[in-house]
Amino acid sequence: MDSLQDYDYQQLSALVAELGVPKFRADQLYSLAMRHKSYDEGSNLPVALREQLKGVVRDRAVEIVERLEGKDGVKKYLYLLADGNIIEGVYMPHRYGDTLCVSTQVGCRMGCAFCASGIGGLVRNLTAGEILGQVLAANRDNGGTPEKRKVTNVVLMGSGEPLDNYDNVIRFLKLVGDPRGIGISPRNISLSTSGLADRMIELADSGIPVVLTVSLHAATDRKRSALMPVNRKYPIARVIEAARYYVRKTGRRVIFEYALVRGENSDRKSAEELAALLKGLNCHVNLINLNPVKEKGLSGVSPEAIKSFISVLESKGISATLRRSMGGDVEGACGQLRRKYLRQKEEGGQSDAG
Ligand code: SAH
Ligand code: SF4
């Protein structure tokens, strides 16, 4: 059963017509959905209508089941889906507005060597309403409404590969951008991809100008394939060509994510290879020190190594900054909290995450 949050305003109007109730109920339901309220909180809805609706469509797509507060105002959420699956997200306060990191799939099938999300493979795609539901739930949880938003920016960097769930993600972008609802525009949304080149081109052509972030992590096919199996299907040359196309088509620079992994991609030569690869491309490099994942056995690098990596890039005219790894104290890295939760469930213990 879908939730109200999967419906756009037109579809909701059609549903209301089908149920044979007056048109203005569509506005009430839409407002309820955008506030992440339950039917039973909709005091303006007749009880009989609430009961009728419960048999047709769920009121909310996700439910917050755990909230972990870390340093610097960061919150980590675990959300429960209607089928019992768990996904996670991170809320990050910033000076210019608060950012929510959302998941797009339960698990992921890309199998990157350093990532916790891919460990159990892909379980399933999220619906557009389940992606939107994370935004609406976190907005409410932090005291926001659609009119007075707390969540002003969204990054598609939680678990899952957004471009592997392309249609639902595009639909989500339309739903979340609707000014009648929470109205977050594509300019305030970053989509991070492991480099599905064909879909990157499709996205450029979609006319939805999100900020595109590409997880590169290495500048030669040998090194990248070792970290990211997807590189065998979409090697670096194709990823860069698609990124160039995105810049041409949208007029916006592309961000490259590069996680520094000890012994894999973090020496001087790797920095020089990266600089050569990105020369002349309108882009920025976000470096991040690898967040070690228990199951993976890879580690990050020293602060000195980060500094010298950045200085090589800068000396070659590539702009680069170190991304603060927010929420490290609350298993902030992609997929880690869910893994911990599942591990504890498997071991039969109670989650100590809360
Ligand atoms: N699937 C998409 C988006 C989700 S992952 C993608 O891969 O881009 C979001 C970002 O977190 C990616 O850049 C990913 O490479 C990075 N990431 C995953 N695990 C990490 C870890 N253990 N340490 C640092 N970055 C990690
Ligand atoms: Fe999937 Fe992204 Fe994790 Fe790779 S880094 S396994 S693409 S979520």
- CB within 6 Å of ligand 1 — which residues? 114-115, 157, 161, 192-194, 215, 257, 259, 288, 290-291, 293, 333-334
Separation of CA 196 and ligand 1 centre (Å):
14
pLDDT at 342 exceeding the cut of 80:
no
Coil, helix or strand at residue 233 = coil
Are the C-beta atoms of residues 322 and 289 closer than 8 Å to each other? yes
Q: Is 49 annotated as a binding residue?
A: no
**Residue 257 Cα: closest atom of ligand 1:** 13
Confidence of residue 349 (pLDDT cuts 50, 70, 90): very low
Per-residue pLDDT tens digits for 312-333:
999 999 999 998 765 555 555 5
Which residue pairs, CB below 8 angstroms and at least 24 apart, start in 207-211? 208/170, 208/173, 208/174, 208/177, 209/250, 209/252, 210/173, 210/186, 211/187, 211/252, 211/255
Taking alpha carbons only, the member of 196, 187, 190, 189 closest to residue 213 is 190
Residue nearest to ligand 1 atom 20, measured at CA: 115
What is the per-residue pLDDT across 42-85, written as a single tens digit (0 to 9) for each? 999 999 999 999 999 999 999 999 999 988 889 999 999 999 99
Percent of the chain with pLDDT over 70: 92
Sheet holding 189-193, edge to edge: 62-69, 75-81, 86-92, 98-101, 151-156, 189-193, 211-215, 254-260, 283-289, 320-322
Nearest-atom number in ligand 1 for the CA of 195 is 8
| pLDDT at site 98 | 95
On whether 51 is known to bind a ligand per the annotation, the reply is: no
* Alpha carbons 140 and 31: distance in angstroms, whole number: 13
What does pLDDT average to over the chain? 92
Q: How confident is the model at residue 352 (pLDDT cuts 50, 70, 90)?
A: very low
Q: Closest residue (by CA) to atom 9 of ligand 1?
A: 157
Cβ–Cβ < 8 Å for 78, 338: yes
Question: CB of 176 within 8 A of CB of 189?
Answer: yes
Closest residue by Cα to atom 18, ligand 1, is: 115
Interval between CA 16 and ligand 2 midpoint (Å): 39
How do residues 149-204 score in pLDDT, each as one tens digit?
999 999 999 999 999 999 999 999 999 999 999 999 999 999 999 999 999 999 99
CA–CA distance, 12 with 276 (Å, rounded to integer): 51
Return the number of other C-beta atoms located less than 10 Å from residue 133's C-beta: 29
**Residue 251 reports pLDDT greater than 60:** yes
Specify the DSSP class assigned to residue 30: H
Distance of CA 159 from the midpoint of ligand 1 (Å): 8
User: Strands, E, within the chain: which ranges?
Assistant: 62-69, 75-81, 86-92, 98-101, 105-107, 122-125, 151-156, 189-193, 211-215, 254-260, 283-289, 320-322
pLDDT in tens, 256-282: 999 999 999 999 999 999 999 999 999
How many angstroms separate the alpha carbon of residue 224 from the centre of ligand 2?
A: 13
Mode of pairing for the β-strands spanning 98-101 and 151-156: parallel
Q: For residue 293, what are the CA distances in angstroms to 205, 214, 270, 298?
A: 36, 21, 23, 7
Indicate whether 353 pLDDT > 80: no
Per-residue pLDDT band at 351 (split at 50, 70, 90): very low
Catalytic residue among 63, 69, 88, 346: 88
Mean pLDDT along residues 339-353: 52
What's the distance, Cα to Cα, between the start and end of the chain in Å? 29
Q: Quick check: is 147 catalytic?
A: no
Using alpha carbons, list the distances in angstroms from residue 33 to 89, 158, 202, 276, 340.
20, 23, 30, 49, 31
> Is 215 annotated as a binding-site member?
yes
Mean pLDDT in residue range 196-219: 98
Q: Looking at ligand 2, which atom is closest to the CA of residue 115? A: 3
Question: Diameter of the chain by CA atoms?
Answer: 69
Q: Catalytic: 51?
A: no
Q: 3-class SS at 183?
A: coil
| Cα of 50 from ligand 2 centre, angstroms | 40
Q: Which atom of ligand 2 is nearest to the CA of 116?
A: 3
Measured between alpha carbons, how far is residue 334 from residues 87, 118, 204, 248, 354 in Å? 10, 10, 25, 30, 18
Pick from 155, 192, 210, 295 the residue to mutate for probing ligand 1's pocket: most ligand atoms within 8 Å of its CB: 192
Q: Is 101 marked as binding a ligand?
A: no
